Structure 1
Amino acid sequence: MNLRLVKAGYFMGIGLMMASVIYFFAANWQGFDRLEKIVVSIGVMCLLYGISILLAYVMNRHDFLSQWLFVAGAIGFGVSVALIGQIYNSHADSFWLFFIWFIPSAVFALITRYEPFRVLSAVLLQLTFWFYYFPSSYQTERDQWVSFLFLLVFAAVNGAVFFLHRSSFVSYLLYVAMQGWLFLIVGSGLTEGSFTWWPYVYSLLLLVFLYYFFAIVKHRSYVLITSLFAGGFLIVQYFRFVARHFQEGVLLAGLLLAAGIVYGSLFLLKRLRNWAMEENAGTTFLAVFQAIVTAVASIIAISSIMGLFSLWTHHFSSNLLFALSVGAFVLPGMLMQSWNDVVRCTLLAIGYGVGVIASMDISIWIVTTYFLVLLVGYFKSEKTGIKLLTHVALSAFGMLIVEEWSDKLRLALLFVVLLNAFLYMASHQRKHTQRLSLFIGMGSLLLLTSMDFFALDLWVVLANLLLIFITAGWIAFQSKQQEPIGLGIAWFYLWLFLVLKYYEFAWSLLDKAISLLIFGILVLAGTIFLEKKKHLLPNEQVSWVRSKWIPLLMIIALQIVFIGYTVFDKERLLRNGEVVKLELMPMDPRSLLQGDYVRLRYEISQIQGMSGNGKVQLILQKDEAGVYRFARVYVMNGKKDLSYIRKKGEVIINGKWQGDTILYGIESFFVPEKTGIELQQRARYAYVRVSQTGDALLESVSDR
């Protein structure tokens, strides 16, 4: 148990310090110049690799730590590449960043067969696809067929790697990614245009996957994942159909559809039960499958009921709707113990959902009484599904009551935290209800830390400190208790907290980086102290850091060479490129890894009456004010203007068509934290270095 605690401490300490590094470079602190930042980032990467190798060769009992630090070094390479983009104002969150980062990570995964490298590679592959399809630093317009084919290719790549690679965890990520890209074809609205046939094809694909994983390979987890996407697809299609045909018959058909889903699931569950009960995991499989059925059927039923209620009643009555939710759904679901569990849970889910909607506009005393009755029913109920649904309902109704009574969201969220702490302690040995209490309670506490909801004050600071100490303490506690799901929930909220804090503007990234560094050092120091005190000597196998050091060092050397050459090329362009002044129109977001930037759109981003596809070269000419403006096209669609003779005051600049917009690779200008709005208000011109071959590098932005 102590060994697991030590490993958790090392993992947390490394994670916090890596988050500190990312925060620091994203802050774009001006205390270092360009080359100093690059040297520091390379130094951090090499330090992580170096300590990893040192631990592998000198302290053999720390092989697990050596491997983790090597992965951290690979992450450090990605941070260095992102920093180059920030320093030299490349596209924010460019898909090239993640693709370049993906290549050595994938090679590391192939060489070492280490699962964290496989996970990192899978995540980077999805980020590459995502930012290629949804670029954050510029707008893009694509033909519907092009968009469809891109999404199909993304799904096919994930599917191919999935079927060729069956590692324990990464295969799930790849399969979810494949289904996600296929589902996005439906969710992105492409099926409303040229691809009205795709829902039928996707339905057939889902049936094929269900049959394959159910009847051929008999893999429960993939049956559940496929069922989840099938349920989401059914909900989306139903909502779209109702939006086009909002009438009584369609809404009544929705109720019949919900009933049909439940009835069909009962028939299917009879077939699944014998197969599922072959192992202990079968009980969990049946419970999750029932939860998916309940969620899909209840969402469709709730939307149908609300639609019918609005059509049938001229004056909307929340009291009548609340009475309907209790009498027609909650009471039968609670009292009819002889009914099937799926039917009872679906009735309760519908009743609670409709009741929450109606409770927003009825007497607080009625809702409070209802809350107390549900609390009694919660403790009397023995069925896990009913108990979990009532647990969620208690949290929702409790939050509504306190928010209505106090008119303060903070008190409402605090009540949910305390309620779930009470329900956790009252659950004794019921692991499912304890896990739900932990999930809802920590989620509510996380919302209390948000500076997007609340102004920065003492209560927000206390909430942030409380969440950090609770998650850290809970990770330590669950590491000893061997409770993987509870441990996973705590880790999930810790990393989610770090991600959300990155995007909060009230507290500077630099201050957050320093705080995380201090906390990470304290965690590592405490872990080392515990390890020495307990004399823990983990049994380790021979680390791949030692057994495969030659190819690993070759990749590290290539990473350093790549960074060095990229910096050299950018610096050469800054020294030798011709200065070009361009008129612009900016915006102000925050990058995933690179910090704050101003999103730029140039006067030459659109040429009146022109559009195209692929690469283009334009000729810009300096006007009397010193601003370079469009003069003519030099190369377009592979055709060069052979009659052109370069004149004084003209430059050639490379671009790429995106619909009617030309991208020059200089659409992002990275700025120190919290200075983007000021720059946005005064920026009128950009100064760009353009090489003889037409490559552009954004140097500065000015008001004149």
Structure 2
Amino acid sequence: MKSKFVMIQLGYVLGASSLLTAIVYFFAANWEMLNRWEKFIPVFLLILGFYGLSVWLSRQAGRTFLSKLSLFASCVSFGVGVALIGQTYNSHADSYSLFAVWFIPALLFALLTRWQPFYVLAYVLFHLAYGLYFFPKWGSGSEVELIQIAIWLGLVFVNSLMYVLTERSIIDSPFLKWVTFQAAIGILLFISISQIFEEYGLWMNLPLVAALAAAVGYAHKSRNRTYLLFAGLWVSAAVTVKYIELVVEQYNELFFIISLLFIIVFIGANVKFMNYIRAWNPTPITADQEEHPVNADSKSDGEFTKWIVRVLTVSVIIIGSLLGSLTIIGIITVVMGFEDPEYILMGYGLLSVIAMIAVKKLNSLVRYTVLISGLMLGAGTAVFTENVSMLLVFLAVAIAAFMMMSGLLHRIFFFLAAICLTAFVLANWLDSGILVMTILTGLLACLFAAALAIKSDGIRKPILYSSFPSFLFTLFILTFMTEKAWYYISNIVFFLLVVLALVISKQRQIKWMHAWSMGFWIAFLLYKYYDLAWKLLHKSVSFAIIGIVIVAFTVWYEKRHRLAATEPQDIAANDQRNRWIIALLVLLQVLAMSLQIGKSEWLLAHGQLVKLKLEPLDPRSLMQGDYVRLRYTISDTEIWETMGTDSAQDKKITVVLAPNTATGVYEFSRIYHTGEALASGEIRLNGKKDGYNHIAYGIETYFVPEGTGRSYERDAKFAEVKVSAGGDAILVRLLNQ
């Protein structure tokens, strides 16, 4: 049976992801008891072992999926190996080169196997490499604004190109198609914000508008409802952002009066426009659809016009609600001059919500815009002023609205609003954030269980769709907040429930539940890395045990249902030419790692040992664990100016260092010029300008055992460095004196 096969697939995925996570965590722990070769040999064995397993499985009947999974594990092990080399020789901490080197085989494997996980891995690695190359400080660049915009536009171009390739089926990846669509528009919206890009941000509105128009046009032409929905949401986001920009720049009475008139005209024009669109539809719209146009639960492929109406309605309501709320606040505070407008805002919000719930015959666009705007204003003010009485009133109104109104999205909105209001009420009553989240988690679990017993789809679906992800979210937060025994209990409960949800949703083919569960499973694996309450080594052992147990259970389950769990044959997997290319790629990976190790070992053996003065810092690498970021006195170009030496204009630079006879510390002497002879005791050191009036020499990171970075930051004063005759350097150790 196909269901048993997908269950076996899920088991191997969960087991393999746990084991790979354990491997990453183990080496990131920077376990000091292992020497260099004791670290390198296991990684080489993992790369070759997983590849060998992939080859063996590819020759077995019904093992195509496991063969690809093993090859994916080999690729991940290569990334771990590249990170480990950098960790061992104190280089490439969060460097673009680490991810760029890893990206190359991931991309080639993706093109050769056409397997979705390789596409996802390659996409993520490319963006990490691209971002860290141009913005090594994680998003902050010193380049002039025009250059920064050009860098972001380069990313827009890459994502747009990827979208075109997936749209034309040159690359078969639904994930890439979806994510590149969102990324391209999102980046364009970001670089059009004039408060961030003050000089050229305004001009970036032109490509943004063009992209939004193209997205809407494509969705309409292709009759793709999903992309039409997201295009409409991006239009809503863009209009809202632009309005906020105007509020910041034009904060005066006239602006808010014009804004109110604009919103009235905007909603009225959209009402007329949607009536015009409805005239296109030969199929009459039912009374329920007229009353609840946002209900996206319809599965009829032949009603695209009505879907356009729904998307436009959602977009207009979002825009109208956000802009209307800001405008009303501006009118009350700026135009009318109320210094304490809290009660006016709460009163307006309460009256508008109650009125819109009661007046059912009002045009749905106007009704829901006023209703949501009123709830945002009234409840938001109550939250801001910590008015518990009004919070309880709005909570009761939200519950009443959920029961009295129908429509999937309407009820989801009011359910989530009620949960948020409940959280704020509890936060005002209780001093413990852990207790608040625990009560909220238990409440959501009870609501989810109760919804399973409800027979009415109109009530059951919105509760299920809202309570399940909300429950996982609050429980996930608890895994970070709790302490001592409760920490382990919350983590175990979260892990068991997510795995159980994955199994049940896969068995019963509940796609939305499976998607949420898989998302939280991945989040659990990733974000536990930064959970300081538990050491990386302990996490590594735990995930290794979990992975072994899951794989063992999956093997047992597969043997028991072997005949019923037949895997479909994959013709592409039998391509002999691809097998040889993949073998060559694996060989090149091993060769590249070996060359880097050999180069570093040669430098350690033959380089000249020098002592440098430093100034340390303490972050954590994505792949390599804790490290101390170093800044040397020879890195500061201002010192050169005090010595009468002009700093070089080129990015690459070589400096000459000479020892201080009194301290033995090597200090800056001058900039090196090609062919220049060095005096006795002098050395040259290669570096590169990092754009912050500093020079980076490739020895700015020193990896330390987890949790010890602060002591190095406090005590370390000097660094011992091995420098080759050609000016390359490797950091050996830090010294206190």
TM-score, length-scaled by structure 1: 0.92
- Structure 1 pair 672/341, CA: closer, same or farther in 2 (3 Å)? farther
- Partner SS state of residue 629, structure 2: strand
> In the alignment, which of 175, 179, 195 is matched to residue 173 of structure 1?
179
- Structure 1 pair 537/169, CA: closer, same or farther in 2 (3 Å)? same
- Structure 1 pair 271/600, CA: closer, same or farther in 2 (3 Å)? farther
Amino acid at match of 1:170: L
Once the two structures are TM-superposed, the CA of residue 681 in structure 1 deviates from its matched residue by 0.7
Structure 2 segments unaligned to the other structure (5+ residues)? 282-298, 642-646
Is residue 597 from structure 1 mapped to residue 620 from structure 2 by the alignment? no
> In the alignment, which of 424, 429, 433 is matched to residue 405 of structure 1?
429
Aligned to 1:678: 711
Trace 1:272-671 onto structure 2 (pairs within 5 A): 278-279=301-302, 290-311=313-334, 312=336, 314-328=338-352, 330-360=353-383, 361=385, 363-427=387-451, 428=454, 429=457, 430-450=460-480, 454=481, 456-535=483-562, 536-542=564-570, 544-547=572-575, 548-608=578-638, 609=641, 610=647, 612-624=649-661, 625-635=663-673, 640=674, 644-659=676-691, 660-671=693-704
Deviates more, 1:11-20 or 1:230-239: 230-239
Deviates more, 1:688-697 or 1:456-465: 456-465
- Structure 1 pair 703/407, CA: closer, same or farther in 2 (3 Å)? same
Is residue 244 from structure 1 mapped to residue 246 from structure 2 by the alignment? no
Q: Is the 8 A contact 1:332 1:347 kept in 2?
A: no
Q: Is the 8 A contact 1:88 1:570 kept in 2?
A: yes
Residue deviations 1:440-463, cap 9 Å, x none?
Answer: 12111111111xxx3623333222
How many Å separate the matches in 1 of 2:624 and 2:263?
Answer: 46
- Structure 1 pair 484/105, CA: closer, same or farther in 2 (3 Å)? same
- Structure 1 pair 613/186, CA: closer, same or farther in 2 (3 Å)? farther
- Partner SS state of residue 59, structure 2: helix
Once the two structures are TM-superposed, the CA of residue 154 in structure 1 deviates from its matched residue by 1.9
- Partner SS state of residue 669, structure 1: strand
Once the two structures are TM-superposed, the CA of residue 110 in structure 1 deviates from its matched residue by 1.7
- Structure 1 pair 506/614, CA: closer, same or farther in 2 (3 Å)? same
Aligned to 1:107: 108
Once the two structures are TM-superposed, the CA of residue 230 in structure 1 deviates from its matched residue by 3.3
Is residue 223 from structure 1 mapped to residue 228 from structure 2 by the alignment? yes
- Partner SS state of residue 65, structure 1: helix
How many Å separate the matches in 2 of 1:672 and 1:464?
Answer: 24
Identity, % of aligned pairs? Answer: 28
- Partner SS state of residue 208, structure 1: helix
Amino acid at match of 1:650: E
- Partner SS state of residue 491, structure 1: helix
Aligned to 1:697: 730
Q: Is the 8 A contact 1:277 1:283 kept in 2?
A: no
- Partner SS state of residue 10, structure 1: helix
Trace 1:67-86 onto structure 2 (pairs within 5 A): 67-86=68-87
How many Å separate the matches in 2 of 1:137 and 1:683?
Answer: 25
Once the two structures are TM-superposed, the CA of residue 119 in structure 1 deviates from its matched residue by 2.1
Aligned to 2:216: 210
Aligned to 2:155: 154
How many Å separate the matches in 2 of 1:121 and 1:378?
Answer: 43
- Partner SS state of residue 191, structure 1: coil
Structure 1 segments unaligned to the other structure (5+ residues)? none
Residue deviations 1:255-290, cap 9 Å, x none?
Answer: 445555545554565577668964478877765664
How many Å separate the matches in 2 of 1:107 and 1:145?
Answer: 33
Once the two structures are TM-superposed, the CA of residue 218 in structure 1 deviates from its matched residue by 3.9
Q: Is the 8 A contact 1:27 1:595 kept in 2?
A: yes
Aligned to 1:66: 67
How many Å separate the matches in 1 of 2:427 and 2:609?
Answer: 58
- Structure 1 pair 703/165, CA: closer, same or farther in 2 (3 Å)? same
Once the two structures are TM-superposed, the CA of residue 560 in structure 1 deviates from its matched residue by 0.7
**Paired positions, count:** 692
Q: Is the 8 A contact 2:356 2:368 kept in 1?
A: yes
Deviates more, 1:542-551 or 1:83-92: 542-551
- Partner SS state of residue 169, structure 1: helix
How many Å separate the matches in 2 of 1:682 and 1:284?
Answer: 65
- Partner SS state of residue 36, structure 1: helix
Once the two structures are TM-superposed, the CA of residue 193 in structure 1 deviates from its matched residue by 2.1
- Structure 1 pair 137/377, CA: closer, same or farther in 2 (3 Å)? closer
Residue deviations 1:472-520, cap 9 Å, x none?
Answer: 1111111122111110001111111222211121210110111111111
Deviates more, 1:313-322 or 1:657-666: 313-322
How many Å separate the matches in 2 of 1:97 and 1:268?
Answer: 53
Once the two structures are TM-superposed, the CA of residue 297 in structure 1 deviates from its matched residue by 3.2
Amino acid at match of 2:181: Y
- Structure 1 pair 10/254, CA: closer, same or farther in 2 (3 Å)? farther
Deviates more, 1:601-610 or 1:369-378: 369-378
Residue deviations 1:639-672, cap 9 Å, x none?
Answer: x4x5x32011211111112332212122221111
Deviates more, 1:249-258 or 1:23-32: 249-258
How many Å separate the matches in 2 of 1:244 and 1:533?
Answer: 68
How many Å separate the matches in 2 of 1:261 and 1:514?
Answer: 59
Amino acid at match of 1:627: V
How many Å separate the matches in 2 of 1:3 and 1:648?
Answer: 72
Aligned to 1:11: 13
> In the alignment, which of 51, 54, 59 is matched to residue 53 of structure 2?
51
How many Å separate the matches in 1 of 2:12 and 2:267?
Answer: 47
Amino acid at match of 1:152: L
Aligned to 2:197: 191
Q: Is the 8 A contact 1:612 1:658 kept in 2?
A: no
Q: Is the 8 A contact 2:5 2:567 kept in 1?
A: no
Once the two structures are TM-superposed, the CA of residue 175 in structure 1 deviates from its matched residue by 2.5
Once the two structures are TM-superposed, the CA of residue 5 in structure 1 deviates from its matched residue by 2.2
How many Å separate the matches in 1 of 2:305 and 2:585?
Answer: 44
- Partner SS state of residue 619, structure 2: coil
- Structure 1 pair 379/138, CA: closer, same or farther in 2 (3 Å)? closer
How many Å separate the matches in 1 of 2:428 and 2:409?
Answer: 29
How many Å separate the matches in 2 of 1:138 and 1:478?
Answer: 38
How many Å separate the matches in 1 of 2:311 and 2:34?
Answer: 53
Q: Is the 8 A contact 1:126 1:177 kept in 2?
A: no
- Partner SS state of residue 656, structure 1: strand
Q: Is the 8 A contact 2:191 2:201 kept in 1?
A: no
